[in-house]
Structure 1
């Protein structure tokens, strides 16, 4: 009987490995195809010969993309946005989640403030009022128009405060007995214990800022102020004439194809997040269990 149970368990595990491996492969295939197209010659890409492996390997598309000032400028704008957005979002999330994680006897108005934030998830002012506020504050065509709206991600606040509420209360009580204040407890106990949750939220915030394109389209009037995803949307989908190539670039494009240059720029745009994830993977795996039942 024990042998049958062990065999069934192994079969179940292998079935899970095969299924999850196949699902992961299906997710990777489009990215592999884009990568193969970006490294392929223009004739092979245009003829549709490129599948999952480059045909007539060349770096011409990457040289073109990296030498394009508009691509570099938008790349730097996105880097600045992610750096400022992550700093502001994480700081405000921690400062809001810590007091809201306390019991009502410790923070009398906790429920009032909690509902104040929860209501913003249920009801929104809409796109036009937000645009009017950004315009009246003089934030159009500035990096702050991309960072300040949505500076307090309420969903992240809820995740973090629930994680903090699950931390051992004895540590806080011992710190208060030793004379520590709330600031010391926050930065020396609560934040270090919440590293898995913070790493998960940091990854969510970075991916959200990096992949966002619509706000750059409505808040930025000059193409040189576009974040990277807005630039790619304008070039790949809308083909904005203001972002099209010059006469010198047309000579270069005669040696490469529009398809390979788009693929190269798309892969370069995804590369920073692909490089960031391995550094947060350990904490991310722990952080995704936020709210799970623990015995």
Structure 2
């Protein structure tokens, strides 16, 4: 009987591992194919001859991206946007999620503000009113046009609020007995033990700011102010406009497909660098923040 149970457990473990490996391959193979295409030559990419290894290895697509000064300028704008935007997001989320995590006994108007938060998550003014507001505030073509419109990510506020609601009340009660103010409780008690939740919503904010290209497209009037994603989204190759024979030969090794693959790789690398530092908090933060008792 024990041998049968042991066999069943081993069989289930094997099935689970096979499913995990299959899902991993489904996610990994397209990434490897994109990476291989970015290092392949024009003809091989256009003929769909590239698998998970490059065909006709070339760095022409990356040279096209990296040799352009606008690439580095846009990269700096994106980094600045991530720093300013994420910092502002975290400040606004903490100041909103902390009072909303309290009961009505401690925050009498909680339900009113909570309804406003839910309403803001479900409905918004739309693209044209948003553009008019940014224009009237004279924020067009500035970094603040990329940061301020999304200063309060409501969905992340709700995640962080639910996380804070799950923290032990005894810690706050002990701080109150010691004479701590609400500000002291927030900064000295709540925030230090909220690292998983904070890291989770911070990762969401970083990804959102880094990957967004549309705001740069509508709020930036000059290409020199484009963030990185907007720049690479607009980057195209027009061989007919190239007169220099050497330049023509160089650009003939690049296709739109290889260049797009290089864009994806370059845009993904910074997030791959950041994610390992936040990954250990991610599972705990998202599970606790998603559960409501």
Normalising by the residue count of structure 2, what TM-score does the alignment of the two structures yield? 0.90
Aligned to 1:131: 131
User: Aligned partners of 1:123, 1:35: CA distance in 2, in Å?
Assistant: 39
Shift of the alpha carbon at 1:147? Answer: 0.7
User: Aligned partners of 1:154, 1:119: CA distance in 2, in Å?
Assistant: 10
- Change in CA separation of 1:209 and 1:95 when aligned onto 2, cut-off 3 Å: same
- Change in CA separation of 1:172 and 1:48 when aligned onto 2, cut-off 3 Å: same
Shift of the alpha carbon at 1:42? Answer: 3.3
| Structure 1 segment 279-290 matched on structure 2, within 5 A | 279-290=277-288
CA distances 1:130-165 after superposition (whole Å, capped 9, x unpaired)? 111111111111111111112101111111111111
Shift of the alpha carbon at 1:170? Answer: 0.7
- Change in CA separation of 1:95 and 1:260 when aligned onto 2, cut-off 3 Å: same
After superposing the two structures, state which structure 1 stretch, 210-219 or 53-62, moved more.
53-62
- Secondary structure of 2:191's counterpart equals helix
Does residue 89 in structure 1 map to residue 106 in structure 2?
A: no
Aligned to 1:119: 119
2:166, 2:288 within 8 Å by CA — same for their partners in 1?
Answer: no
User: Aligned partners of 1:124, 1:190: CA distance in 2, in Å?
Assistant: 31
User: Aligned partners of 1:204, 1:92: CA distance in 2, in Å?
Assistant: 15
User: Aligned partners of 2:76, 2:241: CA distance in 1, in Å?
Assistant: 20
Structure 2, unmatched stretches of 5+, are none
Shift of the alpha carbon at 1:124? Answer: 1.5
- Secondary structure of 2:264's counterpart equals helix
CA RMSD across the alignment: 2.3
User: Aligned partners of 2:28, 2:133: CA distance in 1, in Å?
Assistant: 41
Shift of the alpha carbon at 1:27? Answer: 1.7
**Number of residue pairs matched by the alignment:** 290
User: Aligned partners of 1:187, 1:144: CA distance in 2, in Å?
Assistant: 27
Does residue 215 in structure 1 map to residue 218 in structure 2?
A: no
CA distances 1:197-245 after superposition (whole Å, capped 9, x unpaired)? 1111111111111111222111112112122222222236xx7x8xx98
- Change in CA separation of 1:245 and 1:181 when aligned onto 2, cut-off 3 Å: farther
- Change in CA separation of 1:61 and 1:198 when aligned onto 2, cut-off 3 Å: same
User: Aligned partners of 1:176, 1:203: CA distance in 2, in Å?
Assistant: 32
| Structure 1 segment 1-295 matched on structure 2, within 5 A | 1-235=1-235, 250=248, 252-291=250-289
After superposing the two structures, state which structure 1 stretch, 285-294 or 267-276, moved more.
285-294
User: Aligned partners of 1:233, 1:156: CA distance in 2, in Å?
Assistant: 27
